[in-house]
Amino acid sequence: MTHYYLHLRDFRGELIEDVDGSDFPDLHAARDYAVHGMRELLAEAVKSGTEAPEMTLVADREGRQLAAVPVAAAMPALLLRALKHPAEAVPPNRFDDYRRNADGCRQMAEDADDSLDKASWLNLADAWLQMLPKHASDADHDLAAWPKGAAGDSKVSH
């Protein structure tokens, strides 16, 4: 067994040192453990709305960095693809659904008698349009022509 230290580095560059370390059969096992730990930290950050560490650094007894496990290594591949290339992660016909949903919400806003309901429908329509990638639509044209509800106008939480 070899002793490794799994330090955490946040996005500000601050290091949270693992002062105790842990024994692992080899570097591969230490790195796998770091990936598992990063997944748990990422899940907790998502649940609590806090920041996840940027990475886990695997070091030896002498303090030499042997491996780095970035937060991206803990993310599911589908989520990474969606973040990097949203147009590739979502089927093209889905964007047509988003536009239809936005148009339906806009129609509901036009038919609404209550100003708060109207604002809620317009905010929801805007949210549908915001899900369109810039190159998948002429979003600037679409969004510029739409009336907007003020953030505080809606009683509904989206």
The DSSP result for the chain, as a single string, is: -EEEEEEEE-TTS-EE--SS-EEESSHHHHHHHHHHHHHHHHHHHHHHT-PPPSEEEEE-TT--EEEEEEGGGGS-HHHHHHHH-HHHHS-HHHHHHHHHHHHHHHHHHHH-SSHHHHHHHHHHHHHHHHTS-GGGTTHHHHHHTS----GGG-SS--
pLDDT in tens, 92-133: 778 888 889 999 999 999 999 999 989 999 999 999 888 887
Is pTM beyond 0.85 here?
Answer: no
Q: What does the domain layout of the chain look like in residue ranges?
A: 2-75, 84-153
What are the pLDDT digits (tens) for 37-92?
A: 999 999 999 899 999 899 999 999 999 999 999 988 888 887 777 777 776 766 77
